[in-house]
Chains A and B, each alone.
Chain A
Amino acid sequence: MVLDAKIPDGPLAEKWTRHRFDLKLVNPANKRKYNIIIVGTGLAGASAAASLAELGYNVNTFSYHESPRRAHSIAAQGGINAAKNYPNDGDSIFRLFYDTIKGGDYRSREANVYRLAEVSNAIIDQCVAQGVPFAREYGGLLDNRSFGGAQVSRTFYARGQTGQQLLLGAYSAFVRQMKSGKVKFHPRHEMLDLVLVDGHAKGIITRNLVTGEIRSHAADAVILATGGYGNVFFLSTNAMASNATAIWRAHKKGAFFANPCFTQIHPTCIPLSSDHQSKLTLMSESLRNDGRVWVPKKKGDSRSPNDIPEEERDYYLERIYPSFGNLVPRDVASRRAKEMCDTGHGVGPTGLAVYLDFKDVIARNGKQWVADKYGNLFDMYKQITGENPYDVPMRIYPAVHYTMGGLWVDYNLMSTIPGLFVLGEANFSDHGANRLGASALMQGLADGYFIIPYTIGDYLAKHPGGGTDTNQGSFKTTTQEVEEKLNQLLAVDGSQTVDEIHKKLGHILWEYVGMARNREGLEKALKLIPQLRETFWKEVKVPGTVNELNPELEKAGRVADFLELGELMARDALHREESCGGHFREEYQTEENEALRNDEQFTYVAAWEFRGPGEPAKLHKEDLIFENVELTTRSYK
């Protein structure tokens, strides 16, 4: 099978406009004949649901949350990018495009990224019209800040709660359509499989998480907006329930999985304190604007940080990267922190942390200034660690944060299964090997508000609406498979809990498929993960029954999928014999320990095809063609 990304012809800046003209339209009177299923109601899903319902489609939505407002998008702190150039500091659509392509280390599609930059401005307009309370200047206009090392101020923000406010905006548009009856919402419903009819995605199987009821739902097209899979590592900054089940099961039904090994490890998180910790907490990247990162020069120095004199501190980011200093991109900052700890300079009880120090900025601008800017983050840090960052430096360590990989989609956001569309973090589309700060919110809303409403119409227009019901095709057999799998999980009745096994998987992935990878480690992971999977199916203990609210059963199904996905991640990381963005292969680095890309051989998207249980997945390549930017080596020195 040849992967066709369906990238429109023509000059970069005209592709999307031309394409919109070429796309087929569904006659307004016919739209109500079409039923669309959307799984996931975070930023991407809620914005898509509202927009499609406004157009007249019937939208059936599902979430394992009790309300769309609980989706993990709510937790995004820092902000959302757009090429408005309000500050008059040189931004443009092309610059946002360029920065995103470069930040992704040239492993994403030019056409997609350009379109993202192009629609970014409309997102801000839309959100403001909905009443999203973005930060403002005294003159009443919108305020911008520079974020994640960008050299222009293009980030719109709502205090440290941008994701919350954007999601509540999308949620408001969503509930408005609930009232009109165009959107139906099924809370606490988990999609457990995708149903194909004649090779097209035509429905899903869900489990009602309260009653346990398994049901089929048919539609003319299915959209997955189910978020990222960072929780495969057990510990991450994702919410506890974030998982890969929807996309993984779709993958097993034929949707290719792209670049699974591209994960983002965020440099500024609160370090792990003990073994029973359940998740990691992000400390916004904005802290690096004023905090200075350092470790003691002496290995194993156990003095309290305030007792270590200036000349015995190594401000290593400032030393190695004199021009970007503490503001180097996430992947670089994370890897350097790991290196410091691996060479014995780590601090804190576990030795797996570095300092983020605000002493200088407090001396320069006063405590109040710092409190005004970062007060909520400082409070959060204190709440979790019991230490006061105004008096002692914060301890931070990298943590899994975001997954650039996801289901492969073409320019229309359609997967390799016709009729199955994938939006938001669940797809692989725009961030290449590394995502820039404040661009995931942008992408989720671009997909939902401004891309899918056009592209899905083209698919639907070619197929008559309302033709599917749950008596057709494989609805019955798929339901049986789902039920069997649930019963199997309960039947094992072993001696290890789901969490215990999940933690073991997390250790393997963090150790061998984490911040730095090498052949030996990856090969080891490829042995260990299948073994652990076997242990899971022999040893897992899931209490209770199917027909009740059973959180352990929910988790068990998700971890079963993680145990398969983890292997694919290792396989992908092993095959990609280069370093790029968040994927750092120790064998491929420059003399100065920077990532060494291999553009000759690896300028492609790796899209993996599922070929049956126990069979290694098959690799397909989508070559990436760069006509508008030159592939350079990122340098932050």
Chain B
Amino acid sequence: MQVFLKVWRQADAKSEGQFVTYTVENVTEDMSFFEMLDMLNNQLVLKGEEPIAFDHDCREGICGTCGLFINGRAHGPLRGITTCQLHMRSFNDGDSIVVEPWRAEAFPVIKDLIVDRTAFDRIMSAGGYISVNTGGVPDANTIPVPKPKADEAFDAAACIGCGACVATCKNSSAMLFVAAKVSHLALLPQGQVERKQRALNLIAAMDMEGFGACTNTGACEIECPKEISLVHIARLNREFLKASLI
């Protein structure tokens, strides 16, 4: 099949960007979206043009490196997957596809479709951890965790830090990302000691990085490739309130 791409091109953070259109021929259904871009890039290189820069690595939906806005949706038209897991069988012959980077003030564009998400690391360094040093910890089975709690903590810990929640939010809020970490650690006995401070510190760091406030639109949950639930945002709000009260 043949598809028409309208791709955001931007030389670097300082330059203005614009859409450029490309026609891609000989696309097959079993190609992934990225393999289609690889093919296009190969042709561009041979023609002496600059290939389209996009972020990707594992190509199996776990590293969180990839992330494109495709036809106005973070990670494309399907739910519960990352961009790298999208295949061309989700498109039809002759389709026009608009491809943009994540857009958020806290995620400046580096080039074309690549953005800078190091703000996420800085938020995590403000308290997204349990303060234990290597060695000297108790035997793993001295800390029993009820299975339902452990499972729920896992659901939150499954966040891949891709930033789709931010990109899709009209306020560019990072609440779902932060909530996932706060929830993961608040649910576990190991996380209790620093529970209050963690919620306060992470929220403060999020604000400082220029992410917006959450107004409960719920768009993030819909686009999150790991289907992190809004329940975690509710928990974060409770954690934050409780911690602020003292």
Contacts and interface: CB of A to CB of B under 8 A. Distances in A.
Interface string B158-201: 10110000000000000000000000110010110000000000
Contacts of A241: 57
A278 B32 contact: yes
A164 interface: yes
Given A75-B63, A129-B132, A179 B126 contact: yes
Given A124-B140, A276-B35, A279-B59, A543 B124 contact: no
User: What range describes how many residues of A lie at the interface?
Assistant: 35 or more
Interface stretch (B91-99, B143-151, B208-216, B235-243): B143-151
Contacts of A309: none
Contacts of B50: 543-544
B204 to A, nearest CB: 13
A500 B65 contact: no
A477 interface: no
Contacts of A158: 154, 157
Interface stretch (A167-175, A311-319, A527-535, A575-583): A167-175
Interface string A174-211: 01101100000101000000000000000000000010
B124 A552 contact: no
Contact of A125 (B63, B114, B138, B188): B138
A124 B140 CA distance: 6
B157 to A, nearest CB: 5
A185 B85 CA distance: 29
Interface in B53-76: 53, 55-65
User: What range describes how many residues of B lie at the interface?
Assistant: 35 or more
Interface stretch (A137-145, A416-424, A590-598): A137-145
A544 B191 CA distance: 48
Given A386-B29, A548-B12, A173 B129 contact: yes
B141 A141 contact: yes
Contacts of A450: 134-135
B85 to A, nearest CB: 6
B103 interface: no
Interface string A427-466: 0000000000000000000000110010000000000000
A86, A131, A282: which has the most chain B beta carbons within 10 Å?
A131
B30 A274 contact: yes
B125 A176 contact: yes
Interface string A52-75: 001000000000011111111011
A70 B58 CA distance: 8
Interface string B17-42: 00000000000111110110011001
Contacts of A124: 140
A264 interface: no
8 contacts: A65-B65, A70-B64, A71-B63, A129-B143, A133-B157, A141-B144, A187-B121, A495-B46
Given A136-B150, A551-B53, 9 more contacts: A67-B118, A70-B63, A135-B150, A187-B118, A278-B35, A384-B32, A497-B42, A543-B45, A549-B114
